[in-house]
Each structure stands twice: as structure tokens, then as C-alpha cells.
Structure 1
Amino acid sequence: MRQPEGFVVKGQEHKVCKLIRSLYGLKQAPKQWHQKFDEVVLSNGFILNNSDKCVYSKFDDNGNGVMICLYVDDML
């Protein structure tokens, strides 16, 4: 999280703020949520669709598959 405008102390411009509440409601929250979701899903063997970056798929050796579709913060 970047320091709020007007909060930077001279000589300490590169320090960061320690959060005392969740990121919910902050403008960085959706991006960080999607990055974490992407990391977890891809580490579990899902493949990201090249045409739509909100669609993940995973297939077993028999051709059975699972698809996850994201819309904002909902999963289908």
C-alpha cells in the first residue's frame, strides 16, 4: 500500500504503511484479490483461457473437466 497523499515524511519516502484493517474497500483490493485467486488456481493445475482472462479450466486424463468463470468477485 502506498502512503496516502500528504502523509509522506521527509527522509522516509520509501517506507510503507502497516494495515490495521483488511484491504476490503480500498482501490487496490480487487486487483490484489484477483492476483491471489490467479496464483492459487494456477498452482492447482488450472489453465488460464487466452481469449478471456477470467476463465480457468482443468481436465483429467479421461477428458472430464472443470471450468471456473469469474465475474467481478463471483465464481461460476
Structure 2
Amino acid sequence: MAFLPGDLDEEIYILQPEGFVDESNPNLVCRLKKGLYDLKQVSRQWYKKFDTFMQEEGFERSGYDHCVYMKGKMGGTFTLLLLYVDDMLTASNDHDEIESLKLDMS
């Protein structure tokens, strides 16, 4: 699993990482500016950032499953994105729409 670093809603401090301990101040701690992989908050923060991005791109989150996003109307251009942890599946009747979404996500 790999998450993009999410913005933290709270102040979180950690012990100095092994190999980076300041020998003159070994009791100091580090304040995190972004989430780290092993933090329990990181997956929630990543999802919040992803959800905001998808809604800014014009997608609507499903009321039945919050990991399903839809854009467009049936009969016209229609795009679906399904999110599972850090994997995504996209489907559309317009190949350019998928390419545009991939470009925007990068």
C-alpha cells in the first residue's frame, strides 16, 4: 500500500527516527508536517484529500458506497471511478475522459 502524503488535522509528534537522533539533544521529538505511512491517521487523511479532488473534478460520490464516484449522465459521456484502499478502477464510454482524469491525478 502507498498513500500520498495527506495534510494532518492535528499536531502529531514522534520520537527522533533511528539513524537521525541528535546526539546533543536525544530527548527532543519531531513534529510532523505530513502524514507518515505507518500513522493510523494517514489512510483517513489520504481519503479526505482524494475525495476533495474528485469532487473538484466534477465527480459525485455515491450515496450507497463512498468509494464509488460518478461523472456525467447515462446516454451521454459517463465515467465511473471505484476506489479500493489505494487501487482504482476507471470505466467510461469516452477514452479521452479517462486519459484526462489520469493526467489530472498525476
Question: Given the alignment of the two structures, is residue 54 of structure 1 paired with residue 67 of structure 2, yes or no?
Answer: yes
Aligned counterpart in structure 2 of residue 75 of structure 1, from 81, 88, 94 = 88
Question: 1:28 aligned to 2:41?
Answer: yes
Specify which of 8, 12, 22 is matched with residue 2 of structure 1: 12
- CA shift, 1:62, in A, is 5.7
Please list every run of 5 or more consecutive structure 1 residues that lacks an aligned counterpart in the other structure. Answer: 5-16
CA distance in 2, matches of 1:58, 1:73: 20
Q: Which amino acid aligns with 1:44?
A: E
Q: Structure 1 vs Structure 2: percent identity of aligned residues?
A: 40
Q: Which runs of 5+ in 2 are unaligned?
A: 1-10, 15-30, 90-106
Alpha-carbon distance in structure 1 between the residues aligned to 2:45 and 2:53: 12
2:22 paired residue number: none
After TM superposition, which residue ranges in structure 1, 4 or more long, deviate above 4 angstroms?
A: none
Q: Deviations over 1:5-49 (max 9, x none)?
A: xxxxxxxxxxxx234x75222111100100000000100100010
Deviations 1:29-76 (A, max 9, x none): 100100000000100100010011100000169622110001111111
How many matched pairs? 64
| Aligned-pair Cα RMSD in Å | 2.5
Between structures 1 and 2, the one with greater helix share: 2
For 2:70, what is the secondary structure of its paired residue? strand
